[in-house]
Amino acid sequence: MRLNPFGRIYLTDPAAMWRRILDDPDGVQHAEDLGLWLISRHAHVRRALSDPATFGNSLTLAPVYEVCPEALSVIMRLDVPPTTVAADPPVHPRTRRALRATFANTPDRVEAAYGAIVRRRVDQLVSRLAARSGQRVDLVREFTSELPLLVVLDILGVPDTDVDRIRIWADGQIALIWGQPDPVEQVRLARGLLEFWHYCQDLVRQRLDSGRDGDDYICRALAYRDDDDEVLTVTEVASIAFNLLVAGHETTAGLLAHALDQALSQPHRWREMAADPRCVPAFVAETLRFAPAIDGWLRVTQRDVTLGEVTIPAGARCLLLIGAANRDPSVFAHPDRFDPHRTDVADQLSFGHGPHFCIGAALARLEADVALTGLAAAIPGLRLTPGYRRSFKPNVAFRAHHALPATIDVTTPVDGPTAPPAAPAEAHAA
């Protein structure tokens, strides 16, 4: 068994690969061509996520391939201090404390701090789509990748006018680090990333110049810092903004696209959602398990470690296959079946586990719940274009749809046969 994250199977049906990897007697393999150790079992992935003394985060944001010298010289100019996702102790606990104090991360706090923003943006995008009844749209371009970006920009106090360039920079960062760009593309993306970093530094500088009296996230982080570099430096505030602008949108965009794909591929599911929005949270939870927006994540070993029968040496990069762990049959009943009624869904690892557990999990769930509820209520006849075939962007970490072509129909469909359009990649799903 050999994992080719850029091969046809993984880009159309990653679950087929996860099943084969999980069937391997060791559950841990060294992929020499990728230079990565692959960890697939739930217990091993969970351990790696939650044991920073053995599995560190320092290389999480370093490209997974050998970068060409010209791109590398640009990347070397990125003087972003590690915070949260790229940091290990003692920096991680300190910057994590800052994030927990300044970014709402429980359902109640998220509802109070960001609920109005999420509802306003969902209403705006849903009304725009509903006004186009009878037309074909790409739900990725016009909804799933749009909503989380607008929400995170509102939270950070970034003007709407910058939405397009931030989208390009953030997409570029994901392709540069976890994708497979050719050398010309690497240079272009690396330059974009440097511009993005300077842009984030400017966002912070503008607030410092204007007396930091706004109520956006960056002002809150500066107030928390209270001019004390031991608490947080100004550059670390820029680094946190830089991370939030990517983490806050690409991930939730993936969750929304996977949820819509699952719901619309089986039209009865969409009808149920339109008829009874109370089923939405469980549907979102099962989407997170079944089709995680981040299905592979990186760690580097700080010392030799033995998992099962396999010893991974110190200094090795590991790809934690969250997608495979979420389908481990020793944890999940009928793991390859999409089942919103399952009772074991809470064991999924899609938001990580332990000290780096996703700070935006509650926000992502709120966005997905409000978005699906609003869309199903306004466009109950929404359907995927017949012949639609699922395919994902080449990436070892982020599982993002290329497109979700659909037809807008605001009328309520009459109950009828529920045959999905062609989506052979998951013919095994219930």
Strand order in the sheet with 55-56: 28-31, 36-39, 317-320, 297-301, 55-56
Instruction: Assess 364 for contact with ligand HEM (CB under 6 A).
Output: yes
* CB atoms inside a 10 Å sphere around CB 8: 9
The window from 136-144, 158-166, 287-295, 388-396 that contacts ligand HEM (CB under 6 A) reads 287-295
Instruction: Identify any residues that bridge with 310 across adjacent strands, giving them in sequence order.
Output: 307
Q: By C-beta, is 49 or 423 nearer to ligand HEM?
A: 49
Contacting ligand HEM within 297-326 (CB under 6 A): 297
The window from 18-26, 201-209, 352-360, 399-407 that contacts ligand HEM (CB under 6 A) reads 352-360
Q: By C-beta, is 253 or 312 nearer to ligand HEM?
A: 253
Contacting ligand HEM within 133-162 (CB under 6 A): 152
Q: By C-beta, is 99 or 370 nearer to ligand HEM?
A: 99
Tokens 């749809």 identify what position?
401
* Omega within 30 of 0 (cis) for the link into 90: yes
**Sign of the Cα pseudo-torsion (248, 253, 259, 262, in order):** negative
DSSP code, position 155? H
Residue from 102, 145, 239, 243 binding ligand HEM (CB under 6 A): 243
As measured in angstroms, the least distance from the Cβ of 244 to ligand HEM is 5
Instruction: Assess 166 for contact with ligand HEM (CB under 6 A).
Output: no
* CB atoms inside a 10 Å sphere around CB 326: 25
The window from 106-114, 186-194, 245-253, 307-315 that contacts ligand HEM (CB under 6 A) reads 245-253
Alpha carbon distances (Å) from 287 to 263, 282, 328, 347: 10, 9, 16, 13
Instruction: Assess 105 for contact with ligand HEM (CB under 6 A).
Output: no
Contacting ligand HEM within 183-222 (CB under 6 A): none
Cβ 67 vs Cβ 191: under 8 Å: no
Element (H, E) at 182: none
As measured in angstroms, the least distance from the Cβ of 346 to ligand HEM is 15
Q: By C-beta, is 60 or 326 nearer to ligand HEM?
A: 60
Cα–chain-centroid distance for residue 375?
21
| Residue of closest CB approach to ligand HEM | 360
As measured in angstroms, the least distance from the Cβ of 60 to ligand HEM is 6
Instruction: Assess 255 for contact with ligand HEM (CB under 6 A).
Output: yes
SS3 (DSSP) at 29: strand
Q: Roughly how many angstroms between the first and final C-alpha of the chain, as a whole number?
A: 26
E-strand ranges in 214-320 read: 297-301, 305-307, 310-312, 317-320
Give the CB-side neighbour count of residue 52, counting CA atoms within 13 A.
20
Contacting ligand HEM within 53-72 (CB under 6 A): 57, 60
Cβ 430 vs Cβ 337: under 8 Å: yes
Residue 358 corresponds to which tokens in the numbers above?
Answer: 């996703």
Residue from 251, 265, 326, 348 binding ligand HEM (CB under 6 A): 251
Q: Residues binding ligand HEM: what is the number (CB under 6 A)? A: 28
SS3 (DSSP) at 123: helix
Instruction: Assess 244 for contact with ligand HEM (CB under 6 A).
Output: yes
As measured in angstroms, the least distance from the Cβ of 20 to ligand HEM is 23
As measured in angstroms, the least distance from the Cβ of 399 to ligand HEM is 9
Cα–chain-centroid distance for residue 111?
20
Residue 350 corresponds to which tokens in the numbers above?
Answer: 């899609």
Q: By C-beta, is 186 or 243 nearer to ligand HEM?
A: 243
Residue from 21, 38, 45, 49 binding ligand HEM (CB under 6 A): 49
Q: By C-beta, is 267 or 369 nearer to ligand HEM?
A: 369
Cα–chain-centroid distance for residue 81?
22
Q: By C-beta, is 147 or 376 nearer to ligand HEM?
A: 147
d(CA 127, CA 124): 5
Residue from 196, 242, 351, 392 binding ligand HEM (CB under 6 A): 351
Which residues sit at the interface with ligand HEM, rule CB under 6 A?
A: 49, 57, 60, 84-85, 96, 99, 152, 243-244, 247-248, 251-252, 255, 292-294, 297, 350-352, 356, 358-360, 363-364
